[in-house]
Amino acid sequence: MRLSLPHVPGLLLPFALLPLSLLPACGKGSPGKRKSVVAFSQCTTTEPWRVLFNRELKREAEKHADEFDLVVADAEDRTDRQVEQVENFIRQKVDVLLVSPKESPGLTPVVERAIDAGIPVLVLDRNVATERVTAFIGGDNREIGRAAGGFAVDHLGGLGKATGKVIEIWGGMASTPAQERHLGFRDYVAKEPGIEILLDNQDGDWKQDRGYSIMETALKAFPRIDLVYAHNDPMAYGAYLAAKDAGRDKGIAFVGIDAIPEEGGLWVKKGWLTATFVYATPGVEAIRQATKLLQGETVPETTTLPTRAVTRETVDAFLAAAGVGSK
């Protein structure tokens, strides 16, 4: 018999999945009890950090293949699509829902509906605007923003003495990491009378090409720019490329966030970025916690993943530890 799934755009089925009403009784040694399903709604896979996130999550889930099936849906960077996919998971009564939201306001109501339906929800990396979730796993983006702000102040002359003209390129403005990375940066930089923020209201939506075009415009408007702070490495790299194309890359420091060794790490090594900050993906921890929930255990309300700076001084050790050659 052939079974067809209801059409959900972007739904990937890396592990076998049938509509749950049609799932065979396949629970381990317990006839009549179906195997558990952990469903993951990933907002996008257009950025390399998301691809790494999915890879880490799937690899960890493979260790538990006899305990549950994993279903991964890619919302292709669209809030409406992600809401639709989460609705679908609620209808299917999945056992644990993992969500990494595109943005906060758009995803909050559907996450609450999942909780109302009795499904445990782990929110990953970007948060929603409700306390009514099972748990949140992600980095402390305010802290990462502060670390970037501290680096910028040091780079521009040190506490109380820093001088320079700064451009900030936002990630998606409706997402919590962008909001927190902005606030953390301001915690440091706004206290420095010698630092002038030339631009801090441009939404680059985490994309390299948007970073490029925001910087291209900024270069035309401002004869002097000393430092660019972008909310992720792809946008910082895009800004660097724009400056290079305009022949102005040499005098400008480019600071990003993510530090994927093969990307931001290598860009620091090559001297294209001045610094980046590790933003670990929550993939492995999400699966560990989902497994606990399936076993009836509790999980902490918040799990904060650590960060650290990758600069010219630390990049060699960083790349070596990640097993990445620096050619």
Kindly list the residues in this chain that would bind ligand FRU in the complex (CB under 6 A): 44, 47, 49-50, 125-126, 171, 175, 177, 206, 232, 257-258, 279
Q: Which is nearer to ligand FRU, 68 or 267 (CB)?
A: 267
> What's the closest the beta carbon of residue 148 comes to ligand FRU, in angstroms?
12
Shortest spacing between CB 75 and ligand FRU, in angstroms: 11
Which of 35, 146 has the CB closer to ligand FRU? Answer: 146
Closer of 139 and 164 to ligand FRU (Cβ): 139
Q: Tell the smallest beta-carbon distance from residue 53 to ligand FRU (Å).
A: 8
Q: Which is nearer to ligand FRU, 120 or 256 (CB)?
A: 256
Select 164 or 171, whichever has its Cβ closest to ligand FRU.
171
The distance of closest approach from Cβ of residue 210 to ligand FRU in the complex, given in angstroms and rounded to an integer, is 11
Nearest to ligand FRU of 94, 278 (CB atom): 278
Direct distance between the N- and C-terminal alpha carbons of the chain, in angstroms, rounded to an integer: 53
Minimum CB–partner distance for residue 23 and ligand FRU (Å): 32
Q: Minimum distance from CB of 8 to ligand FRU (Å)?
A: 21
CA distance 289 to 172: 27
